[in-house]
Each structure stands twice: as C-alpha cells, then as structure tokens.
Chain A
Amino acid sequence: MATYSTSEFRNGLKFLLDGQPCVIINNEIVQPGKGQAFNRVKYRNLITGRVLEKTFKSGEKVEAADVVDTELQYLYNDGEFWHFMDPETFDQYQAGEAAVGDNAKWLVEQDICSVTLWNGEPIAVVPPKQVTLEVVETDPGLKGDTAGTGGKPATLSTGAVVQVPLFVQIGDKVVVNTQTGEYVSRAKG
C-alpha cells in the first residue's frame, strides 16, 4: 500500500485517516526554533464532508487513498441505487444514498456528473452546475406576467421545489442552478 510522509503533504493530497478517505485542504508546518517540527493539517473527510484539523509529528506516514474524480453519465435510479456510466469505457457504477445525498433531486438522466470514486466505488456525486427539469406542479399563474417580478413555488419532476416566476406553467421545462437551488430561465424548445 502506498504511503505519504509528512514531507510529501500538499493541498489536494488524498489519504486515509481512521479508514476513511480524506483530502488535505491546508498544510501548515509548525517548526519551533529549538523543537520538533509538526504539520498542522486541515482536511476534509470525503465521506462525511466534515472539515477537521490534525497535527502530525513530522516524519509520520499516512496511507494513500485510491480516490479519483471522474465524469460519469447518469443513467437511472432503480429505487435503491443511482446508476452511472463512464461514456468512454462504458464501465457502470452504482452510487448509494450516502454518496448522492441531497443532490438526488438534481440528477437528470443522460447528464454528465462529477463522481468521486474511492477504491472504484462512488462516494460523492456532484450534478452539473445547471440542469433542465420539467415542472410537474405549480399554481396557475397570471398569463400576462412575463416580467417575472412575482414568484411561486414549483415542484419539478425529480421532487425538487424551486421558486419560479408567475408565468411558469405545469409542463414547462426550467433551467435551475444546482448550487443555489435557484431558477435561472425557462428552457428553450
């Protein structure tokens, strides 16, 4: 198993801590003039997303984590797993609830998502920045209101609820920013 010594620590390095994959966010060397050096490391646990700090005696080793970021196409959900495919190799992957989390509501079939694999298994799924989804439920709005000054909640085909302008109708397709959860525009065509 590959290991990294503290002297190889750098931002972005992926390693195992207590059996979980983590990524270094900040590595600060603490070197007293007359004392032992330490590395004060801020890292993100890639499973929980939590950011934590740990101070390593310099010379300590950590195990490398086999973590890669890939671009995969979302295929379908079978009720338990979300299925993805590598569009070049056609390799298929299934991601569970823990990996998809709240992003489930932004997964659109055929969209290319950023998927983080740990030992070949998805641990995090990030949808495209913008997705296009159909409105399945919303109050009838005022036909004439095209200025988009007002707003109303709309439920989309994936279950996501977003604020949309009053003119948006059931059956319309809308573009939504997945990072903010905000309506961007009506989809063309």
Chain B
Amino acid sequence: MFRYIVRRLLQMVLTFFGATFVVYALMFAAQDDPIQALVGERPITPSQRTALTERFHLDDNFFAQYWYYMKGLLTGDFGTSLTNRKIADMLADAWPVTLRLSLLAIVIAATIAILAGVVSGIRRGSIFDNATLAITLVVLAMPIVVLAPLAQLVFGIKLGWFPVTAGQDAGLWQLLLPATVLASLVVATELRVTRASVAENLRADYVRTAKAKGLTRARVIGVHVLRNSLIPVITLIGVDLGALMSGAIVTEKVFNIPGVGFNLFRGIRTEDGPLVVGFVSVLVIVFLVVNLIVDLLYAVLDPRIRYE
C-alpha cells in the first residue's frame, strides 16, 4: 500500500508540473505579443502594459516565467484579473455553488449509471438493456450546448417544472435541473462501463464459486459481483470530473449560476486573459488532486493493487 501511494504521489508530482507547464505554454510559449493575447481586442494603456509585464514576468525568459507562475499557484496567489480583482477572491466567492452543483451531478450520474448499468449487465440482450443502450447513445451524442439550453427551454420555461435560473445561494431544488444536465454529460459512459463490467464479472469463475456456495442471487450480485464491477466505474468518475468542469462553464452560463464556470465564461467573453489562465490552472489542479484521491480509493477497493 505504502509503495503504491508513494509511486502514485511521484507520478502526480510529475503530472502536476507537466500539466501546468503545458497550460502555461499553450498561452505564452513562442508568443509575439503575449499581452495582446491576454487582453484580446480591448485597448490597453501603457501603465496596464507595464503592470501585466511585471505580473507575468514577461521580460524574463519563458522558463523563468513558468517558475514565477508556478510559485504563485503553489502559494495560493493565482493572480489578478484585468478588472483588478484577486482571482483567489473570485474563486472563494464562486466555488461553493459550483461544488454543490457538481457533487449533485456526480451523485445523479453515479446513481443512474450504477442502477441501470447493473440491471443492463445482468439482463444483457433484454428489452431494458437494448432501450438503455439506445438512450445512452443519444445522451452520449448530446453536446452540452444543446442539452443545457434545451432543458432550460423545455423544463424551465415551457413546462415550468423547475426554476429557470439559480442564484449564489441556490439550494438543491434550484440546482436539480442544471445538475441533471451536467450529469447527462457523463452518465452514458459510466453506465456503459458499469454494464460491461457487470457482464464481464458475471462470467467470472468466482461467481460460479459463489453460486456453488449456495448464496442467494441477491448476495452473489450485491456482494461479490458489485464490488468487483465498481472498481473501474470509480476510476471513471474521477476522470469524468474533467467533462463536468467543461460542462459547468456552459451550464452555469445558461442557468445564470454565479459559480466558477460562470466566472470563467465571463472571463472568456471579456477577453480577460489573466482570469482565464488563473481559473483554468486552478481547475486543472483540482482535477489532478481528485484523480489522485480516486486512485488511492482504487487501492482500497482492489487489494491486488494494494499489495503490489
């Protein structure tokens, strides 16, 4: 277990530096006028120009720039937006509602995916299974820019079942529709993986043993098959966080939820480069940390990894 954790942590450090470097390079490497890229088409005063140059150490060479940027990230200094707000402060205001939204989405997606996936996996080829596969195919193909506005239009505006927008202090009820939209981004793959995993495990030899032990079908599936089948699904939920973050940008915009995604959207629209780079960096770090946690959880679930 210890060796696994150490190895995973080392890997994480490498990925952390690699990923932040790539993000930084995407923005600044081999850039003729990085300041213009940061501010886009908006006019810029010489004093702003000086401030930005200083802020991003644009007079230094690229690696030194990255070093200062990294130092900032690690010390919690994510920079200042062009509107002169500290990005750390903006994040502090924005993250609670985004956290609620994404947790709700993860729970909705995982619940549906695991319940339907297990049933589908057990009854492969049944009407339920085929219907589920067809639905996942359609859901899989729904871009978030289609789903979010259409869901708002149909369930919020036309039918009036759900609130059309959600505020800073949005509760469960207000977040339910956007969270469902967000969940649909990942539910299809999670369901398919659950289904395939259950189907595969049902054929495993240990299932035959469990049956030969005279255990009830409920116990064979609920205890023996499920634990094995969920291992890949848990990993997937970690990876899917990336899709949820991307989806949150559009969803929060459409439903007017003042969260992290909404701020990022506004940053993009107002061509606020420092804000975009800062927010994206933080999101990438969150993504990496969550995946580290998921990998450690994986070791708890699968003893073969633990004792490697």
The answer to whether A and B assemble together is no
Measuring CB to CB, which residues of chain A are less than 8 angstroms from any residue of chain B?
none
Interface residues of B (CB under 8 A from A): none
